[in-house]
Structure 1
Amino acid sequence: MFERFTRGARDVVEGAVGHAERADDAEVTAEHLLLALLDAEGTKAAYALAALGVTGRREAVVAALAEARRRGGVSAADEEALAGLGIDVGAIVSCVEQAHGEGALGRERTRTKRRFTGHRPFARESKDVLEQALRVAIGRGDRTIGDEHLLLALAVRPGVARDVLGAYGSSYDAVVRVLGTG
């Protein structure tokens, strides 16, 4: 599938790996893909994010992703569902952080085994985003997978990245509207 990626999409994937490495995270996640999309310049996704005002609010987006990480990656939809069961995610996070320190629910850090291989694996969620990008490209009649397809995949797949994009006006429908039909 990677051979179908445009230069912009490859740059996003490589940028996501870089974000994971700088954070010393064990895996490349959907959030790393979103951060790499925010780094993109001169691409269709960069245009869409700028047109929707997300690029200008980069620090707020990064802070929202950090807060989601602090909550252990619980998405807004998950938090809402748990609240419906009487579970207060905020209270749980506070209790865990009191006992184990701030950010205790954050992602697992790099494991020794991975350091020897030099390979930064992709989390299941980020693999799903890449697969969804392929489906989006096919659905739009495109022969290649561009960074715009990665953005659309992030905007449609449930999870923290979609929640953060939606909170800053970049829902799937908004991104489609800005990018046009093809």
Structure 2
Amino acid sequence: MFEKFADSARSAVVAAQSEAKRLEAQRIHPSHLLLGVLVSADEPLRDLLADADLTVDGLRDDCAAQAPGDALGADDAAALDAIGIDLGAVKSRLEETFGEGVLDRDPSGTGDAGRGNLWGRFGHIPFDKGAKKVLELSLREAIARHERVIRAEHFLLGVLRCGDPSATALVEAHVHRDELRRRLVEHLDEAA
């Protein structure tokens, strides 16, 4: 299937990989593909997405907010503060004693918390089930339009169809997904 990718789609996959690494994700999710399209979009598509209030910086902030954060969040810090414990001071002291990143989560389960996942940092991060579904739906979108290659726009249509709650929330925070789909179809029709 990858041989059917246009340059825009290949660039989007590479950008999705980079964004997943930047967010320290263990797998590429549909939201990373969405962000990858935004990062690598050419001018007409970038303008269409900006008109829909979907920008790289805005989506990066939204993705970071969705990403799992510290094991202890703001509510925990407030509760500890109520009994006289400064969570920030505790974290600083632990990092001074045991090294930076000692409290970082280890989503891989390998016991290497704070050291990072070397495969994810230097190799390719695998696609999760939702991202694979986006790729499949992108192919279906291209076939339905009688197009021979999969473009970045088809990825966006696949993201909109896949029903991933995180990706849907990212889009719908800015524009209704049916409206974005309508704009994308018009854009593809104009380009044809």
Give the structure-1-normalised TM-score: 0.69
The 8 Å contact of residues 37 and 45 in structure 1, kept in 2 or not, is answered as no
1:163, CA displacement in angstroms? 1.6
In structure 2, what is the equivalent of residue 75 of structure 1?
none
| Count of residue pairs brought into register by the alignment | 159
The 8 Å contact of residues 142 and 149 in structure 2, kept in 1 or not, is answered as yes
Question: Which residue of the other structure, out of 53, 59, 62, is the alignment partner of 1:61?
Answer: 59
In structure 2, the residue corresponding to 1:70 is in which secondary structure?
coil
The 8 Å contact of residues 38 and 46 in structure 1, kept in 2 or not, is answered as yes
Identity of aligned residues (%): 28
Alignment of 1:16-165 (within 5 A): 16-42=16-42, 45-55=45-55, 58-70=56-68, 108=107, 111=117, 114=119, 118-158=123-163, 159-165=165-171
The change in CA–CA distance for 1:117 and 1:14 in structure 2 (over 3 A counts) is closer
The 8 Å contact of residues 41 and 152 in structure 2, kept in 1 or not, is answered as no
1:161, CA displacement in angstroms? 1.0
Cα distance in 1, alignment partners of residues 121 and 43 from structure 2:
35
Question: Which residue of the other structure, out of 165, 171, 174, is the alignment partner of 2:177?
Answer: 171
Which structure: larger Rg?
2
Give unmatched runs, 5+ long, in structure 2: 81-87, 89-102, 109-115
Cα distance in 1, alignment partners of residues 24 and 138 from structure 2:
26
Give the structure-2-normalised TM-score: 0.65
Cα distance in 1, alignment partners of residues 75 and 146 from structure 2:
47
The change in CA–CA distance for 1:69 and 1:54 in structure 2 (over 3 A counts) is same
AA aligned opposite 1:139: A
CA deviations 1:46-82 (Å, max 9, x no partner) are 2431232322xx43332322222238xxxxxxxxxxx
AA aligned opposite 1:133: S
1:21, CA displacement in angstroms? 2.2
Range 22-31 or range 125-134, more displaced = 22-31
1:134, CA displacement in angstroms? 0.6
AA aligned opposite 2:66: A
In structure 1, what is the equivalent of residue 94 of structure 2?
none
The 8 Å contact of residues 34 and 156 in structure 2, kept in 1 or not, is answered as yes
AA aligned opposite 1:129: V
RMSD, matched Cα: 3.7
1:39, CA displacement in angstroms? 1.1
AA aligned opposite 2:124: H
Give unmatched runs, 5+ long, in structure 1: 72-92
